[in-house]
Amino acid sequence: MLGVNEPYISGKELKYLKESIKSNELSIGKFKGKFENKIKQYCKSKYVSLCSSGTSAIQVALHTLGIKENDEVIVPTFTFIATINAVIYNKGIPVFMDCDDNCNLDIKKFNKFIFENTFKKGNNLFNKKTKRRIFAVIPVHVWGGLVDLSEITKLCRKSNLKIIEDAAESLGSKYKIKKLKNRSSGTIGDIGCLSFNGNKIITSAGGGAILTKSKKYHQKANYLINQATDKQFNYIHNNIGYNFRMSNINAAIGLAQLEKISFYIKKKKLINKFYREFFKNSEHLKINEFPKYSNNNYWQTTMIINLKNPKLVIKKIRSSLIKYGFSIRQAWHPCHMQIPYKKFESYKISNAPKISSRLICLPCSSFLKKKQLLKICSIISKNIK
Ligand SMILES: Cc1ncc(COP(=O)(O)O)c(C=O)c1O
């Protein structure tokens, strides 16, 4: 059965893999530098550090920026659980925000929270209710559609709030807004984090990257990823780091995939267009819009089910699609409602649970053919009659 987003091997993956195996460069080798440089070039990011996953990238980003125990981090509730877990790994405390209709961080509510519920003391921002320092915000560019960071960067800078972009899903998405024109996702905040998991727009069979314009952050992130090694020869480690390096084998696959990213984005756009066209007159099914202020990578097309019992309809659609070898996924269950995270503060969340119960992720692998898309669409249509 096909997953919602399967990898598409279409370039030099095998060639590069063979090269790294033949040269006995499995963990360390030339593909790491090549992949890093290609990301730098493609995203126009000054520094890039490869790591083992998108989750480890966010974990290290928070550590690099200097999070302290019990610092609060503002996070959207509508994201993959990894975003929140990375805060907890650093002994931080999440404060959950709602999402807007693009499924991204609700900027209006975020601004309101900062104005009404926080105060500044010295150089830091504090939560009025908990008196804890608020250290950072993690905007997540959901499904590849960008959060309008032009709206929050000034406020964050004034409040000394660090920005870590969770750009796990948005490699290749760029802003159209004047202030950020042509800037890539992941390059606006203090640090941006990418994921190359198997389901992403490109994959390295698992991996991530940390993007930054700061040399200081870059050096610290690299140090942490590599077990905080101060002297390699005699194993001196003056701090506690992580084994979060990406292997050369993973980088070889990642490089080959990145060489073809324009091709994948083109395919994703066509898939989105197909679904949009097919359901444009549907009374009950609505293909979600991507933000208008950005050129998005269209990584994941999603659909809202506007019927009385969406749970039942989703169940029916799912079991019919399975018979033909296709799968769908329901949207994330909001993170503030997940058992480990219920006890943390959430701010005026109303939209995320509504969207979550009605939204499905449609099959979007870049290799899907028109014939397959047509089949998927007609199965879905049949199930709402
Ligand atoms: C929004 C978001 N954040 C973080 C991650 C974590 O990335 P990884 O799976 O590479 O750890 C993912 C994807 O898996 C994601 O979709």
Where along the chain do its domains lie? 13-258, 261-382
Q: What is the mean pLDDT of the chain?
A: 97
Confirm if 130 and 74 have CB atoms less than 8 A apart. no
Task: Determine the atom of ligand 1 nearest the C-alpha atom of 206.
Answer: 10
Mutate to test the pocket of ligand 1, among 5, 50, 52, 55 (most ligand atoms within 8 A of CB): 55
Among 195, 199, 250, 302, say which to mutate for ligand 1: greatest number of ligand atoms within 8 Å of CB. 195
Q: Can you say how many angstroms the Cα of residue 117 is from the centroid of all Cα atoms in its chain?
A: 27
Residues 85, 60: Cα–Cα separation, whole Å: 12
Sign of the Cα pseudo-torsion (266, 211, 139, 224, in order): positive
The pTM is what? 0.98
Angle at 291 between CA 162 and CA 210, to 5 degrees: 35
Output the CA 204–ligand 1 centroid distance in Å. 13
Mean pLDDT score, 315-333: 97
Q: Is the minimum distance from the CB of 275 to ligand 1 under 6 angstroms?
A: no
pLDDT band at residue 64 using 50, 70 and 90 as cut-offs: very high
- The topology (CATH level 3) of 261-382 is Aspartate Aminotransferase, domain 1 (3.90.1150)
pLDDT digits (tens, 9 = 90+) for 242-286: 999 999 999 999 999 999 999 999 999 999 999 999 999 999 999
Residue 183 contacts residue 170 (beta carbons within 8 Å): no
Q: Which two tokens stand for residue 49?
A: 């550090």
Rounded to an integer, what distance in angstroms lies between the CA atom of residue 211 and that of residue 48? 5
- Catalogue the E-assigned strands of 131-180: 133-137, 162-166, 174-175
Pocket probe for ligand 1: among 52, 80, 89, 194, the residue whose CB has the most ligand atoms within 8 Å is 80
User: Is the confidence at residue 44, as pLDDT, over 80?
Assistant: yes
- Distances from the Cα of 42 to the Cα of 112, 154, 256, 269, angstroms: 35, 26, 13, 19
Over range 100-126, report the average pLDDT. Answer: 96
275 with 298: CB under 8 angstroms?
no
Fold of 13-258: Aspartate Aminotransferase; domain 2 (3.40.640)
- Structure tokens given for 185: 């996702």
Q: Could you tell me if the CB of 161 is within 6 A of ligand 1? A: no
53 lines ligand 1 (CB under 6 A): yes
Q: Which atom of ligand 1 is nearest to the CA of 142?
A: 1
Which atom of ligand 1 has the smallest separation from the CA of 141? 1
Query: What band does 385 get if pLDDT is binned at 50, 70 and 90?
Result: confident
Q: How far apart are CA 61 and CA 58, in angstroms?
A: 5
Distance CA(25)–CA(342), nearest Å, equals 45
Indicate whether 72 pLDDT > 80. yes
The pLDDT value recorded for residue 364 is 98
Tokens describing residue 81 = 């659980």
Q: What is the structure's pLDDT at 151?
A: 87
- Short-list 3, 80, 31, CA closest to 257: 31
Domains 13-258 and 261-382 share a fold: no
Residue 272 in contact with ligand 1 by CB distance below 6 A: no
Q: Give how far Cα 167 sits from Cα of 60, 162, 292, 306, Å.
A: 14, 15, 18, 29
Distance CA 193, CA 212 (A): 9
Distances (CA, A) of 30 to 11, 16, 40: 18, 10, 16
DSSP H helical ranges for the chain: 13-22, 30-43, 54-65, 81-89, 107-117, 153-159, 215-225, 248-258, 261-278, 310-323, 351-358, 370-382
